[in-house]
């Protein structure tokens, strides 16, 4: 289970001996990592789903492109994040290629970066992104120069802005960045809330001036993000169930009405020597013709309208054939039962009695 907390750092200046906020957080991460039950801990500049569509974007240059506004605008904007080495393990962000950040990626080492899968596919389609150079802003106030970073890793995409909003992610190592990775991300072996008190205590022990802004679990953040989706799904489920119930009732009524209107015909057939299986087969054949026509029209309408629902589906294929097959099977089963029961009921009447009554 994962949880993140967002300490604002030390009140006032950072303690003596820590020349940057990111080094202060690096030391804090080492302290929190020693707590019992902590499996991984790191920091990020802005956690997933924290501010909705708000985030930090940057333009980028590819190696060989001129350093111009036109060249930058020709490339897609990147979702810029500052991360520590332990962040990817704490959030279970998978490494696809290359390597993750480590303690050696500091100001004494060459500048490096990690990109998301979508970023790599967009910027270097069909090519290996490892070793490619990426030019971005230094993010230092008053410095507009371009700093070139070498891509050392590719990780899975993370939805930082929204569940349906995949951006082109790029990560800067915290010890090389001017921006601060100010949100602590902790993965615990048990319930995250149980470790909250220990984390708070360790932070206060590490620096009494540290301010812990808030602490929450990733599950709670995701639950808030999917609440509108869950409501929409429930509404569609209720409407779909009502529509299916009405359709089923209509089919049963239609078959029963057809059999009732054909009682004289069925009586004549029985009087002339037709057997019960023959009558049942005749009724079910007519019902099969109707249901096949209805299923064909319904499937055509469903497939045509599936794309209209695609924007409210998350990781769900609107053309999920097993689902379509299941619905068709249920409809056919209902019609077969209704037709068989009606045919048996009609055939059980004595044809002589029925013909005399008419």
Q: Which residue has the tokens 């023959």?
A: 278
pLDDT (0 to 100) of residue 240: 82
pLDDT (0 to 100) of residue 31: 86
How many helices, marked H, and strands, marked E, lie in the chain?
A: 10, 12
Euclidean distance between CA atoms 43 and 68, whole angstroms: 33
Euclidean distance between CA atoms 326 and 301, whole angstroms: 17
Residue 350: pLDDT above 50? yes
Question: Which pTM was predicted?
Answer: 0.67
Domain boundaries, the chain: 2-223, 262-357
pLDDT (0 to 100) of residue 346: 67
Share of the chain above pLDDT 70, in %: 85
Residue 351: pLDDT above 70? no
First to last CA, the chain: 75
Residue 105: pLDDT above 80? yes
Most confident of 21-25, 37-41, 125-129: 125-129
Euclidean distance between CA atoms 229 and 160, whole angstroms: 17
Q: Among residues 330, 333, 335, which one has the least CA distance to residue 254?
A: 335
pLDDT band at 122 (very low <50, low <70, confident <90, very high): very high
pLDDT (0 to 100) of residue 292: 82
Euclidean distance between CA atoms 177 and 139, whole angstroms: 8
Q: Among residues 60, 77, 45, 72, which one has the least CA distance to residue 160?
A: 45
Q: Among residues 190, 193, 212, which one has the least CA distance to residue 201?
A: 212
For 276-318, the pLDDT digits (tens) are: 777 777 777 777 787 788 888 888 887 777 777 666 666 677 7
Euclidean distance between CA atoms 195 and 199, whole angstroms: 6
For 196-213, the pLDDT digits (tens) are: 778 888 888 887 777 666
pLDDT (0 to 100) of residue 2: 43
pLDDT band at 241 (very low <50, low <70, confident <90, very high): confident
Residue 358: pLDDT above 60? no
């Amino acid at each position: 289970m994962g949880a993140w907390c967002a300490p604002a750092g030390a009140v006032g200046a950072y303690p003596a001996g820590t020349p940057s906020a990111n080094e202060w957080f690096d030391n804090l991460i080492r302290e929190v990592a020693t707590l019992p039950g902590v499996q991984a801990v790191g920091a990020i500049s802005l956690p997933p789903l924290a501010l909705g569509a708000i985030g930090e974007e940057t333009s980028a240059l590819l190696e060989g492109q001129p350093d111009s506004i036109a060249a930058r605008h020709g490339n897609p904007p990147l979702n810029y994040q500052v991360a520590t080495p332990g962040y990817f393990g704490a959030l279970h962000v998978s490494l696809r290629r290359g390597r993750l950040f480590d303690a050696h990626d500091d100001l004494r080492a060459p500048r490096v970066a990690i990109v998301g899968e979508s970023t790599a596919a967009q910027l270097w389609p069909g090519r290996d992104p490892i070793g490619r150079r990426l030019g971005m802003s230094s993010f230092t106030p008053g410095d507009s120069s371009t700093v070139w970073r070498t891509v050392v890793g590719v990780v899975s995409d993370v939805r930082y802005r929204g569940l349906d909003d995949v951006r082109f992610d790029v990560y800067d190592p915290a010890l090389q960045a001017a921006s601060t990775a100010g949100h602590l991300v902790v993965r615990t072996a048990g319930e995250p809330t149980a470790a909250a008190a220990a984390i708070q205590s360790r932070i206060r022990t590490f620096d009494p001036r540290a301010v812990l802004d808030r602490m929450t679990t990733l599950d709670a953040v995701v639950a808030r993000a999917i609440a509108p989706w869950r409501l929409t799904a429930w509404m569609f489920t209720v409407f779909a169930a009502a529509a299916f119930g009405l359709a089923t009732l209509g089919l049963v009524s239609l078959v029963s009405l057809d059999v009732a209107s054909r009682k004289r015909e069925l009586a004549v057939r029985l009087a002339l020597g037709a057997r019960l299986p023959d009558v049942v087969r005749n009724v079910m054949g007519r019902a099969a013709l109707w249901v096949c026509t209805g299923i064909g029209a319904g499937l055509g309408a469903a497939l045509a309208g599936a794309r209209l629902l695609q924007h409210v589906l998350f990781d769900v294929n609107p053309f999920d054939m097993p689902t379509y097959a299941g619905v068709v099977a249920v409809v056919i089963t209902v019609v077969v039962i209704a037709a068989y029961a009606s045919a048996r009921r009609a055939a059980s009447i004595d044809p002589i009695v029925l013909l005399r009554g008419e």
